[in-house]
Copies of this chain bind each other. A is one copy, B any other.
Amino acid sequence: MKKTLLALSIPLISSMAYQASADELKDIKAQISELEERLEKAEQQSSEAKSTADSFEFHGYARSGLLFDEKQHGAVGTGPYMTPAGRYNGPVGRLGLEDDTYVEIILSKNITHDDGSKARYTVMVADGVETKNEWTADDSSINVRQVYAELSNLSSFSGAFRDATLWAGKRFDRNNYDIHFFDSDIIFLSGTGAGIYDVKPTDSWTTNISLYGRDFDDVESTNTDIENYILNVNNYFGDHWQFMFSAMTSPDHDETGSDLATQGIHTLLAYHMDLDSGFAKAGVIYGSGLGGEPKAIGAKGDVTEDASTVRAFAYMVTDLSQDWRIAPALFVENSDDRYAKGDEATWASFNVRLANELTQNFEMVYESTYQYMDLKEGSEEASGGFYKVTIAPTFKLNTDGGFFNRPEIRFTASYIDWDDDLNGFGDTLEEDTFANTPYDGGTWLFGAQMEIWF
């Protein structure tokens, strides 16, 4: 009986416990159900928020700062293209030479269709001024540099076109690349047109095909725009090799009766390599006629039909140790009959930038550049070298981020000098290079500058 009572008592407690648990379970289920509803709403809200936030993108580039010489004169005519070779795209290391405020404002809109088809629209407004003032309406160069639309992931695209991106509008070609330290694109293909990226004829061959138009001028007599049309085919083979070919035609360009080029070709062969802590690139460019302008393909109307240019480059970016980074770059160009028959121009620029990471937010940056040039235009000649050394204490969010982590706020001191023989070159030409620069012989330049891209 005792046992039976026990048996009775325990089940009673158990039964009471069960009653409580049933209510609790009901509560719990209600709570869970409520949580589910709230979560669904939160999911939808965060999905909408993400979708809205992702549909817009803001990107940009900007540099702005002060630059003055040892006598507190404002620097004039400096910049990476300050030497006589600048007229032939021959840059020197940019660090500590830039006096301008240049800004690019890039706005993008992403539109995604239910089936995953994607459209992307990009517009870029840019401006560049020398003045330090903050109201620059009179000096403003503000303009729309890019405005284009892209279509990708199209369900109607298959085979070699499956991953292709179709585009039209005004743009910098997606695959342009530069040597940042020279502020120089290797090639700068741009203009208004249409094309297709990432066509894959085979597994190891990717090709981009574009048609770009550029404007040279008007032919007043015929009321015709002189436009240059550039057909560009840009191929990548495997992981390393790039071969780009451009053919261009500007049939109205001989209206002026001169020996200006009306056609041209431009070729680039390049090798790209990823390194453990950086990358390396090297290549060679050859162009003739309108392609005699080797950088901004088809963009310059003042080259002769005999113009012929060879350009070569090699540069790399890599870590030297945990705290040191290095970026050496070599750029060489030889140009015949570029702006007039009989002219010849050769330059070679070597630059090295070094960074010593001292704390997470501070590094010392050093840059040294040497440029040799041998230029002959009609009776004008210049032969000699330009030298620059710069030291730049630099602040940033993360020095570990390497050479391309931005923003940077830097203070610079540079010493520049050049061979006397270079002075005066261009006096009788449209662009008067060193005559723009009041520094006859060497000078110190001091600066403070911010640079950002994102």
**Chain A residues engaging chain B, CB cutoff 8 angstroms:** 3-8, 10-15, 17-18, 21-22, 24-25, 28-29, 31-32, 35-36, 38-39, 41-43, 45-50, 52-54, 56, 58, 60, 62, 64-66, 68, 71-77, 101, 103, 105, 107, 109, 111, 113, 115, 117-119, 121, 123, 125-127, 129-137, 139-149, 151, 154-157, 166-172, 190-194, 211-215, 218, 222-227, 229, 249, 251-252, 299, 359-362, 395-398, 407, 409-411, 435-438, 448-452, 454
B60 touches A123 (CB 8 A): yes
Looking across the interface, which residue of chain B has its beta carbon closest to that of A362? B156
A103 touches B144 (CB 8 A): yes
Known: A46-B45, A58-B107, A215-B133. A229 touches B72 (CB 8 A): yes
Copies held by the complex: 3
A119 touches B407 (CB 8 A): yes
A360 touches B155 (CB 8 A): yes
Known: A105-B123, A135-B143. A151 touches B53 (CB 8 A): no
A130 touches B225 (CB 8 A): yes
List the B side residues contacting A142 at CB < 8 Å: 125, 137, 140, 142-144
List the B side residues contacting A137 at CB < 8 Å: 140-143
List 11 additional A-B contacts (Cβ < 8 Å) besides A24-B25, A24-B29, A66-B193. Answer: A46-B49, A73-B225, A105-B123, A111-B397, A132-B213, A133-B191, A134-B191, A142-B142, A151-B361, A155-B359, A156-B360
Q: How far is the CA of A63 from the CA of B367 in the complex (A)?
A: 43
Q: How far is the CA of A71 from the CA of B251 in the complex (A)?
A: 8
List the B side residues contacting A154 at CB < 8 Å: 360-361, 395, 397
Known: A35-B36, A74-B227, A227-B68. A361 touches B194 (CB 8 A): no
Looking across the interface, which residue of chain B has its beta carbon closest to that of A401? B113
Q: How far is the CA of A231 from the CA of B161 in the complex (A)?
A: 56
Q: How far is the CA of A150 from the CA of B36 in the complex (A)?
A: 39
Known: A10-B15, A147-B103. A167 touches B213 (CB 8 A): no
A429 → B minimal CB distance (Å): 17
Q: Interface SS of chain A: helix, strand, loop or mixed?
A: mixed
The 10 closest A-B pairs by CB, nearest first: A74-B225, A46-B46, A74-B227, A168-B450, A7-B7, A194-B448, A137-B141, A10-B11, A156-B361, A49-B50
B361 touches A157 (CB 8 A): yes
Known: A32-B35, A360-B155, A448-B194. A45 touches B43 (CB 8 A): yes
B168 touches A76 (CB 8 A): no
List the B side residues contacting A167 at CB < 8 Å: 409, 450
List the B side residues contacting A168 at CB < 8 Å: 64-65, 409-410, 448-450
Partner of A252, one of B73, B111, B123, B225: B73
